[in-house]
Structure 1
Amino acid sequence: MSTIVIKNTRVMQTMPPFAVTEDVDVVISDGIILSVGKNAGDGVKADKVIQAKGKTVIPGNVCGHHHYYSGLSRGMLISAGPQTDFIQVLKEWWWRLDRGLDEEACYYSSLICSLDAIKAGTTTCIDHHASPNYIKGSLDTIANGMEEVGVRGTTCYEVTDRNFGMKEVEAGVAENISFAKSSKRRKLVRGMIGGHAPFTIPDEGLRMMSEAMQETGSGLHLHVAEDKYDVVYSHHHYNKDIIDRLDFFGLLTPNSLLVHGLWLNEKEIAKINEQGCFFAHNARSNMNNNVGYCKHIQDVDNLIIGTDGCGGNMFEELKIAFFKHKDQGGSWWPGDYLTALSRGNKLVEKYFDGNFGRVEAGYKADLAILDYQNPTPLVADNAAAHFVWGMSSNCVESVIVDGKLVMENHAFPGLDTAEIYAKAAEVAQRVWKKVDKIAP
C-alpha cells in the first residue's frame, strides 16, 4: 500500500460546488484520498512527500470521447480527393487511416494519446476504436498502451458494416463482448459496447449490440447525428428518428454514451434525458468537419465534453467549446462548461468502483498538480473563470492516477518517452505509406 502526501497546497474543486481551499495537505493511500486539511499530513508515514506550496491541486480532467486510433494521424501526408462534405471527409481520410492500422500502429497510437493526455492533466480517456483489418485483440492492445502510461479509461470497438458487411459487424460485436468481460480484471481500463454510427449499422447489428450490452452489463458508445446525412439515412431506410431506432433495440441506458448529436430534434433530446444517457459534445471536431453547431447542448441533462480524437487536452477543448458557444449567442458561462467537463466523472463511476471528481476524503486519487500563478484572487466564485481564462495544460506539473504518481515534474517515471515518440514517428510513416495506397 503506497502513501503519498501533498503538502501545503491549494485545492480547487472543479465539480460543483466549486471551492478553493488554501494551505492544506492531501493524504493519499492505496489509490484513495484519505484526508484533506491543514496539517493533515503531519505524522503520516509516507512513501512520497510532494512539497506543493504555491501549487494548485485539481481533480484530473476527463476526455468524454476520444479516438486513440487517430494518434498517428497528426500531419498525415497522403494524397486525398475532394472533401466537400462529411461523407467525403470520412471516406478520403479517416476510413482510409483506420484500414491501415495494425497491432503495432494501434499500440503506439495508444501510447502517444495516453502520454499527451497525462501531460495535459487528463486522467481518464473514454476511447472509441476502429481498425477494420485488426479487430480481434485490438482493444487489449489499446488498453495495454493506456495502462503502460498510467491513464484510466474505457475503450470499445466501433461496430460497422462499411467495409466487409455483416462479417465485420459480427467481428466487432465479438471483440466488444470479449474485452468488456476480460477488462473487469484490469485495474485501469474497462470496456463499453461501441458502434460507429446508425447509418453504417443495420438493424441486425443493433440487435446484436443490444444483446452484447445485456450480456456484459456495459453501455453503448455511439456517434449519432454528427451530420445531417445520418438523420436523412435513418428516415429514408428505417422511417424512424435515430433515437427512436436505438430505443426500439433497448440501446438507451444510463451507462450509455451518445456522441455529437448535432442534428437530433427536441423530441430525441427529451428521450435521451428520460433514459439518463450521457451525451458528449466535441466542439473542435464539429468545427473542423464543418458539420454545424450543436444547438441543443443547453437542453442535455448529462452533457460531457470530448475531443473526438483531437487530442486529450481538455483545458484547450473547454476554451474552444466555450468561445464557440458564445460566438453562437449561447448564454452559458465558464461555470456551466466546467460543470459539463467535470460531469465526465459520473460516467467514469458507471464503470469503476468508487467516487470520482473531487479532491475530498473518500474519492479516488486521480489528480493534477498545477503550477498556476494567478494574477487576480482565485476563490470559489471565480474558479471556473480561472479554469477557462487562465489555466492551461502548460500549468500541469505532475499527475496522479489511482494513487500512483504517473508524471512528476513533467517526467514519466520508468518510461523512455523520447524513445516512444521516435518509434511512433517511424510507425506513423509506415502507416501513411500504406494508407496512401488505400482507395476510398
Structure 2
Amino acid sequence: MLLLKNATLVEFAPARVQEGMDILLEGDLIKDVGNQLESTYPTATIKQMHGKLVMPGIVCSHNHFYSGLSRGIMANIAPCPDFISTLQNLWWRLDRAIDEEALYYSGLICCLEAIKSGCSSVIDHHASPSFIQGSLKVLRDGFLKAGLRGMTCYETTDRNGGVDELQAGVEENMAFARLIDREKEQGSSPYLVESHIGAHAPFTVSDPGLEMIAEAVKATGRGIHIHVAEDRYDVSHSHHHYQKDILLRLEAFDLLNHKSLLAHGLFLSEQDIEILNRHDSFLVHNPRSNMNNSVGYNQQLQKFNNVALGTDGIGADMFEELKFAFFKHRDAGGPLWPDSFLGYLNQGNSLLERNFSASFGKIAPGYKADLTICDYRSPTPLVGDNLPGHFAFGLNSSSVDSVIVEGRFVLENRQFPFDVAPIYREAQKVAQRLWKTMDGLGS
C-alpha cells in the first residue's frame, strides 16, 4: 500500500479542494481518503506530498500518435490553402510514409510527452496505410513501455486503396479488440489499453465501408471513433453523395452508442446534435487544431450533452488545451465560463469509465488510482469555487510534478523511471528518415 501524505485533494466536477488530506492506494485502486491515515495503515509506504495538488488523472480524449515525429517538419509541403489540401499535402503523405519503426518511436515519444504534460490517459486515433496489420499492437507497446493508460484504433478509410484498404482497416481494428479481450481473460498483462473501432471521416468511408465498420462494432462490443464535420466539406459531401446529414447517415448503419466518440463536429445540424444526444454519444472538442486548420469554431458546444477535450495531435498538454478552449469561446462571444471547460476536461474520465468498465475521475475509495500531481504555488486562495479560474488563468503543465497510473508512478518528481534520452536521440534519426520518405511519395 502507498500512502500519499498531506495532499491538497482536487476534484473537477463538482469542483472541490481539500487541504491536509491523505490518500491510500492499494494496487490499482484508491482504498481510503482521510486524515492521519498512517495510524490506521501502519505498514503503508508513505510518500510526502507537502501540500501538492493531487487530482484525478487528466485525459486527452482525441489524439493522433502517428503525428509524433512531425514537429518542426522539414519536408517539401505544397501550399495548403484549405482543409482538404492540408490533408493531402501534409497529413496523408505523413501517414503513408510511416513504417513499423517510425510508428514505434512516434507513439512512444507521444506517450512520454503526454505523461510529462500531466496526462494519465490518452485516446488515440491512428493511420498508417503502408503499415496497417499489426500497427495497433505497436502503439500498444508504447503505451505499456511508458505506463500510460489509453485507447487506440485504426482510422478505416478508402482514400488510398478502395475496398481492400477498407477491409484491412476493419480487420486490424477487430484483431486488436480480440487481442485485448484475450489478454483480459488471461490476466497476462496490465489492463492499460482498450480499443475503439476507428474510421477516418464520413467523406472517406463509403456505405460498404460503414457497413463493415458497423459489423465490427457489433461483433466487438466497442464504439466508433471518427472525425465528423471538421470542415464544411464533410457536410457538403454527405449531402451531395448520400442526401443526408452526417449523423443521420451514421445512425442508419447503427453506428452510434454510448461508447461512440465523434471528434470536432463544428458543422453538425440541429438534427445531428439531437441524434448524438439521443444515443448518449460523445463529442470531443479540439480548439487548437481547429484554429490551426482554419476550419472555424464550434458555436454549439452548449447544445451537446457529452463534451470532452482533445488535441487532435497537437501534443497532449491539456492545461493549454483548456485555456485555448475557454479563450476561443470567449473570443467568439460564447456564454460559457471556465467551470464548463473544467467539466469538459473531467468528461475524459467518463469516456474511460464507459470503455474500461471501472470508476475514474474522483479521489474516493474504489476509484482507479490514476492521479496527476502538481506543485502549484498560488498567490491567491485556492478553493472549489475558484478552481476553474485557476485552471484558466494560472495552472499549467510546468506545474506537473508526478503522474500515477494504475497505482504506480510513471513520472515521479519530474523524472521517468527509465532513461528517455536514448529514445529521443533515436527518434530524431527516425524523424529525418520519415521526412525523406514523405518527399519520395510526392503529393
TM-score grouping bracket, smaller chain normalisation? over 0.9
What displacement does 1:243 show? 0.6
| C-alpha contact 1:61 1:314 (8 A) present in aligned 2 | yes
Query: Which residue identity is paired with 2:358?
Result: G
Residues 199 and 332 of structure 1, relative CA distance in 2, 3 Å threshold: same
1:344-399: CA deviations, max 9, x gaps?
11110111132100111111010011100011111111111112211111000011
Alignment of 1:165 with 2:168, yes or no, is no
Instruction: Determine the structure 1 residue equivalent to 2:361.
Output: 357
Alignment of 1:347 with 2:345, yes or no, is no
Query: Which residue identity is paired with 2:286?
Result: N
Instruction: Determine the structure 2 residue equivalent to 1:293.
Output: 297
Gaps of 5+ in 1: none
Aligned positions of 1:100-111 closer than 5 A? 100-111=97-108
Instruction: Determine the structure 2 residue equivalent to 1:77.
Output: 74
Instruction: Determine the structure 2 residue equivalent to 1:428.
Output: 431
Query: How far apart, in 2, do the equivalents of 1:110 and 1:83 lie?
Result: 26
Instruction: Determine the structure 2 residue equivalent to 1:316.
Output: 320
Q: Which moved more, 1:85-94 or 1:350-359?
A: 350-359
Query: Which residue identity is paired with 2:3?
Result: V
Query: How far apart, in 2, do the equivalents of 1:390 and 1:80 lie?
Result: 37
Aligned positions of 1:378-393 closer than 5 A? 378-393=382-397
RMSD: 1.0
Alignment of 1:369 with 2:343, yes or no, is no
- Counting aligned pairs with the same residue, the percent is 51
Q: Which moved more, 1:131-140 or 1:44-53?
A: 44-53
Instruction: Determine the structure 2 residue equivalent to 1:27.
Output: 24
Query: Which residue identity is paired with 2:221?
Result: G
Query: Which residue identity is paired with 1:331?
Result: P
What displacement does 1:43 show? 4.6
Residues 111 and 48 of structure 1, relative CA distance in 2, 3 Å threshold: farther
Residues 46 and 396 of structure 1, relative CA distance in 2, 3 Å threshold: farther
Query: How far apart, in 1, do the equivalents of 2:147 and 2:42 lie?
Result: 24
| C-alpha contact 1:26 1:41 (8 A) present in aligned 2 | no
Aligned positions of 1:104-253 closer than 5 A? 104-184=101-181, 185=183, 187-253=191-257
Match of 1:418 among 411, 416, 421: 421
Aligned positions of 1:300-339 closer than 5 A? 300-339=304-343
Query: How far apart, in 2, do the equivalents of 1:53 and 1:207 lie?
Result: 55
Residues 301 and 395 of structure 1, relative CA distance in 2, 3 Å threshold: same
Query: How far apart, in 2, do the equivalents of 1:305 and 1:268 lie?
Result: 20
Instruction: Determine the structure 1 residue equivalent to 2:15.
Output: 18
3-state SS, counterpart of residue 142 of structure 1: helix
3-state SS, counterpart of residue 294 of structure 1: coil
What displacement does 1:224 show? 0.5
| C-alpha contact 1:9 1:22 (8 A) present in aligned 2 | yes
Q: Which moved more, 1:178-187 or 1:127-136?
A: 178-187
Aligned positions of 1:59-78 closer than 5 A? 59-78=56-75
Query: Which residue identity is paired with 2:51?
Result: G
Instruction: Determine the structure 1 residue equivalent to 2:266.
Output: 262
Query: Which residue identity is paired with 1:59?
Result: P
Query: How far apart, in 1, do the equivalents of 2:247 and 2:56 lie?
Result: 33
What displacement does 1:49 show? 2.2
Residues 136 and 57 of structure 1, relative CA distance in 2, 3 Å threshold: same
What displacement does 1:175 show? 0.2
Query: Which residue identity is paired with 2:355?
Result: Y
| C-alpha contact 1:119 1:407 (8 A) present in aligned 2 | yes
1:55-88: CA deviations, max 9, x gaps?
1101111101000000000001011112001000
What displacement does 1:44 show? 2.3
1:156-192: CA deviations, max 9, x gaps?
0000001111100000000000101212325100111
Query: Which residue identity is paired with 2:300?
Result: H
Alignment of 1:5 with 2:3, yes or no, is yes
Query: How far apart, in 1, do the equivalents of 2:18 and 2:110 lie?
Result: 32
Q: Which moved more, 1:308-317 or 1:38-47?
A: 38-47
Query: How far apart, in 1, do the equivalents of 2:221 and 2:345 lie?
Result: 25
| C-alpha contact 1:193 1:218 (8 A) present in aligned 2 | yes
Query: How far apart, in 2, do the equivalents of 1:104 and 1:44 lie?
Result: 46
What displacement does 1:48 show? 3.9
3-state SS, counterpart of residue 428 of structure 1: helix
Query: How far apart, in 1, do the equivalents of 2:23 and 2:17 lie?
Result: 14
What displacement does 1:9 show? 1.2
Query: Which residue identity is paired with 1:421?
Result: Y
| C-alpha contact 1:6 1:26 (8 A) present in aligned 2 | yes
Query: Which residue identity is paired with 2:405?
Result: V
Query: How far apart, in 2, do the equivalents of 1:8 and 1:183 lie?
Result: 38
Query: Which residue identity is paired with 1:92?
Result: N
3-state SS, counterpart of residue 33 of structure 1: strand
Count of aligned pairs: 436
Query: How far apart, in 1, do the equivalents of 2:42 and 2:51 lie?
Result: 23
Query: Which residue identity is paired with 1:403?
Result: G
Query: How far apart, in 1, do the equivalents of 2:272 and 2:390 lie?
Result: 35
1:126-149: CA deviations, max 9, x gaps?
000000000000000001101110
Query: How far apart, in 2, do the equivalents of 1:46 and 1:151 lie?
Result: 28
| C-alpha contact 1:4 1:46 (8 A) present in aligned 2 | no
What displacement does 1:50 show? 1.4
Query: How far apart, in 1, do the equivalents of 2:28 and 2:38 lie?
Result: 16
Gaps of 5+ in 2: 184-188
What displacement does 1:54 show? 2.5
| C-alpha contact 1:27 1:41 (8 A) present in aligned 2 | no
1:274-330: CA deviations, max 9, x gaps?
111010000000000000001111111000000000111100110011100000001
Query: How far apart, in 2, do the equivalents of 1:354 and 1:58 lie?
Result: 17
Query: Which residue identity is paired with 1:229?
Result: Y
| C-alpha contact 2:4 2:49 (8 A) present in aligned 1 | yes
